Amino acid sequence: MDDSERLRELHDTYVWEVNAAVGEGRLDLVWQLADEFLDEVLELLTSDEEMTCGRADCLVCNRPRPPEAAPRPRRWTWRGRRQR
């Protein structure tokens, strides 16, 4: 799967989740999902780029990295439509 296909799949997933959050009136969740989408897109687009300067004596590039956070499981619980 190339980058454009992965971007499309990521976009479609987030559009569905954002629409569901809007439908339930969860604007706080909409903003959170928008931030996560941006982070994931940037990670996808920059994953192939070198992250160091290449010098063996560079203190910045050789510092210990924090462990990556485990991705949270994505589940959406549906509730009945609100009665107005």
- Helix 3-23 vs helix 27-46: crossing angle, to nearest 10: 170
pLDDT digits (tens, 9 = 90+) for 29-75: 999 999 999 999 988 887 776 666 777 787 777 777 667 767 777 66
Q: What is the pLDDT of residue 60?
A: 72
Q: Tell me what pLDDT residue 20 has.
A: 94
What is the value of pTM for the model shown? 0.55
Report the first-to-last Cα separation within the chain, whole angstroms.
Answer: 45
For 55, phi and psi rounded to 5 degrees?
-80, 135
DSSP string, 24-53: TT-HHHHHHHHHHHHHHHHHHHHTTS--S-
pLDDT at residue number 84: 47
Q: Does 5 have pLDDT greater than 60?
A: yes
